[in-house]
Amino acid sequence: MAHSARRKDCPELPDFSLLKRLARDQLIYLLEQLPGKKDLFIEADLMSPLDRIANVSTLKQHEVHKLYKVEHKPVVSTSDQLCFLIRPRIQTVKWICDVANADKAAGKFRRYKIIFTPQKFYACEAVLEEQGIFGDVTTDEWAFNLLPLDDDIISLELPEFFRDNFLAGDQRWVRTAGSALHLLHSLYGPFSKIYGIGRCSKMAYESWREQVEEGEQRTHQAEIGKVFLIDRDVDFVTPLCSQVVYEGLVDDIFRIKCGCVEFGPEVTSSDKSMKVMLNSQDKVFNEIRNEHFSNVFGFLSQKARNLQTAYDKRRGMDIKQMKTFVSEELKGLKQEHRLLSLHIGASESIMKKKTKQDFQELLKTEHSLLEGFEIRECISFIEEHINRQVSMIESLRLLCLLSITENGLLPKDFRSLKAQYLQSYGVDHLLTFANLRQLGLLVEQQPGETLTVMESKVGKLVNDKTAGKLTDAFSSLAKKSNFRALSRKLNLVPKSDEEYDLRVPRDMAYIFSGAYVPLSCKLIEQVLDRDGWTGLEEVTRLLNGHEFAVSGSTGGDSKTKSDAQRIILVMFLGGCTFSEISALRFLGRERGYKFIVVTTAITNSSRLLEALLDNHA
C-alpha cells in the first residue's frame, strides 16, 4: 500500500465520542424541561447531525411522540405541546409565530418550546416580541457546536458560516467558533501554542480567550498540544481545484453529507439506493480514502483476491474447523465483501462520469493555470466549456481559478468571458459576479495600476484600527490575489522535470496529481517547522496579514507532554475539503504528527460557489 506509516511513533488521538455524549445529554435535559408527550419539529439541515447524536428511539424514550420536518406551512400536529429544534433563523422563527398565532385565533391552547442550536440570537427573540408571542413560548439554547464525523474530523455543521461571514460580513458565528474552541480546550487542553492567519481566525481566537478568562481554570493532562486557525479566504485556490483523491471524488460526485453518502442503484447493483457511513470503521474505505484515484482500482482488485483466498480456506476443513470459521471469520468476511462491492461500484461510477466529461482535458487546463503556462489555450477551453453549457458551476469554477491564478483578468478577457457566461447561463447571474468580485474570486485587473500601488493605498486604511468600517469597503481592493508570488515563495507548484509517482507520493502535491501543494497545508507545515511566522513576513504580507502566534499554558509530565505536542488541531473557518484533510494526514505520517481537523463544514468547489450564487432573486 502506498501509504504505509512513515514514522511508527505517531501519538494516539484523543477520544472525541465524549463530545457526542455531552451533546446528547444536554438535548435530553432540554426535552425533559417540557414534561409529558410532545411533538418535535426539526429543521431539515439539523436532521442528519441529530441522527448522529440521538436516534429516534432515544427521542421516543424522552416522550417525543411524533417527529416532523420544519416545512414552513400549517402544522398538522394534534399534540398540545410542540417543541421546535431549529437554527437561529428569522424566517423559521416567523413561521413559529404564525403557528402560535393561528392556534390563538382558533382558540387552541398549546405549550411551545423553541430550542435554538448552536446558540440563540437577540434578533430571533426580537421577532417573537414583535409578533406578540414572546410570553407564550419558552426558548432555550442547545450548545451543539461540534459533531465528530471521524476519529480526526470534527465539524460544526454550519455551511452558512462561509457566506454569512465572508460575503455578508455578518460576524455572528464567530462566537460559535470561539465556543467550539473553548469546549475543546476545556476537555482536551490546555493548548501550548496557538497560531492563526486571517481576520476571522483572529476574532475567533479573541472570543475564545474571553471565554477562557470568564470561566473557571481547571488544570488537567493536555491531549492536544498546538492549534492552528485559518480562514477560508486565505486560500481559495485549493477548494476550486478538482479533487482526485478517492474521498474527495466521492464527495464531488455523490455528496457526502454529515459523514454519510447515498449510493444510487448504479453503485449498489440493485434497484434501491443505500446510505453508507464513510469513516475509519469501514476497513476498505479507510485504506483507500487518501489514495490518488489512479491507485484505487489496483488496491480493490488485490483486496478482492485476498478475500477470495480467505473464503477458499474453508475447503477441506473438518467439522470443528468449519464451526470456528463460521463463528469467528465468516461474518467479518461477508461485511468486507459487501463494502468491497460498494466501493468497486462507486469507483466504476466515478470512472464513467469522469471520462465522459473530458476529465483529463479539464485537469490539464487546471494544471496549466496553476503553473501559469498556455493561458490563451486555457481561456479558449473555458470559452468552449461555457458555450457548450457543460455545467454552470464548473464554468464558474474555471473562471475563478483563472482570475485568482492570474491576479485578475485583463479587462477585455473579463468583459468577453462575463458576456459569454451570462448569455449561456442567464443574466440573473449578474449578482453572482458581484459577489465573486467582492470576495476577490473573479476580478478585473485595473488598467495602468499595479497591484503594489493599490496595496499601498489600501494598506493604510486596512491597518488603521479606527477605520474599521472603511476596511470592509476597501476589502475587495485589498483582496487581490497574489497567487503567483506566493507560489514562488512557498514552492507550491513542484518542478515538473521528472515523472511524479502517485503510488509513492513524495509530498502533499500528490492530492492534485503532483501539480500543486495546497497553500493552506503548506502554510501549516511552514509555521510548525518554524514554530511561528518568523521568516514568513513576505508571505503574510502577500496574504494581507492578520497572522498571530501565541503561547498558551504548559502542564503535565514530559512524556505525555511530548505526545500532546505532536497532536495538532487545525480549525478551518469557512470550510475545508477532503483533499486538504488527506494532505494533512500525509504530512502527519511524514513528520510524526497527528492532525485533528475542525471545520465549520466540509466544502468543495460546488458548495463553495453555490453559497455565492445569487440567481434566486
- Report whether CATH 1.25.40.850 matches the domain 356-445: yes
Give the per-residue pLDDT at 201: 95
Of 537, 544, 416, give the one whose Cα is nearest residue 480.
Answer: 544
Give the per-residue pLDDT at 377: 93
Q: Given a cut of 70, is residue 543 above it in pLDDT? A: yes
Q: Given a cut of 90, is residue 225 above it in pLDDT? A: no
Which region among 192-196, 217-221, 368-372 has the lowest average model confidence (pLDDT)? Answer: 217-221
DSSP secondary structure letters along 327-362 = IIIIHHHHHHHHHHHHHHHHHHHHHHHHHHTTHHHH
Give the per-residue pLDDT at 34: 86
* Residue 86 bridge partners (DSSP): 116
**Band of pLDDT at residue 580, cut at 50, 70 and 90:** very high
Which region among 255-259, 322-326, 437-441, 482-486 has the lowest average model confidence (pLDDT)? Answer: 322-326
- Same fold? 16-142, 148-235+518-611: yes
Q: Given a cut of 60, is residue 558 above it in pLDDT? A: no
Q: Given a cut of 80, is residue 553 above it in pLDDT? A: no
Give the per-residue pLDDT at 308: 77
Give the per-residue pLDDT at 466: 42
Give the per-residue pLDDT at 184: 92
Please give the Cα distance from 232 to 8 (Å, whole number): 32
Angle (CA) 389 395 397, round 5°: 160
- Residue length of the chain: 617
Whether residue 494 is preceded by a cis peptide bond, meaning omega within 30 degrees of 0, is no
Over residues 84-143, the pLDDT tens digits come to: 999 999 999 999 999 999 988 888 888 999 999 998 899 999 999 998 888 889 999 999
Q: What is the Cβ-side half-sphere exposure of residue 313, based on CA atoms within 13 angstroms? A: 15
Give the per-residue pLDDT at 527: 94
Section 11-29 average pLDDT: 90
Give the per-residue pLDDT at 571: 96
Please give the Cα distance from 214 to 237 (Å, whole number): 38
Give the per-residue pLDDT at 585: 94
Section 250-262 average pLDDT: 92
Give SS3 for 392.
helix
Q: Are 329 and 310 in contact (CB under 8 A)?
A: yes
More reliable by pLDDT, 152 or 559: 152
**Band of pLDDT at residue 557, cut at 50, 70 and 90:** very low
Section 195-209 average pLDDT: 94
Q: Given a cut of 60, is residue 453 above it in pLDDT? A: no
Write down the mean pLDDT value for the chain. 85
Please give the Cα distance from 41 to 96 (Å, whole number): 10
Q: Given a cut of 50, is residue 464 above it in pLDDT? A: no
Over residues 342-351, the pLDDT tens digits come to: 888 898 888 8
End-to-end Cα spacing for the chain = 50
Q: Which residues of 274-290 are buried (b: 16+ CB within 10 A; e: fewer)?
A: eebebbeebebbebbbb
Residue 563 makes CB contacts below 8 A (sequence gap 6+) with: 11, 12
The share of the chain scoring above pLDDT 70, in percent, equals 86
Q: Are 17 and 132 in contact (CB under 8 A)?
A: no
Please give the Cα distance from 53 to 448 (Å, whole number): 57
More reliable by pLDDT, 324 or 485: 485
Q: Given a cut of 90, is residue 402 above it in pLDDT? A: yes
Please give the Cα distance from 515 to 366 (Å, whole number): 9
Domain ranges within the chain, ordered by starting residue: 16-142, 148-235+518-611, 253-350, 356-445
Architecture of domain 148-235+518-611: 3-Layer(aba) Sandwich (3.40)
CATH of 16-142, one of 3.40.50.2060, 3.30.470.10, 3.10.530.10, 1.20.1440.130: 3.40.50.2060
Section 160-166 average pLDDT: 93
| Cell 455572528 found at | 172
Q: Given a cut of 60, is residue 615 above it in pLDDT? A: no
Section 564-575 average pLDDT: 91
* CA 246 to chain centroid: 16
Q: Please give the C-alpha separations between residue 511 and each of 44, 153, 249, 505, in angstroms, as whole numbers.
A: 33, 18, 11, 9
Q: Given a cut of 50, is residue 476 above it in pLDDT? A: no
**Band of pLDDT at residue 479, cut at 50, 70 and 90:** low
Section 576-586 average pLDDT: 95
Architecture of domain 253-350: Alpha-Beta Complex (3.90)
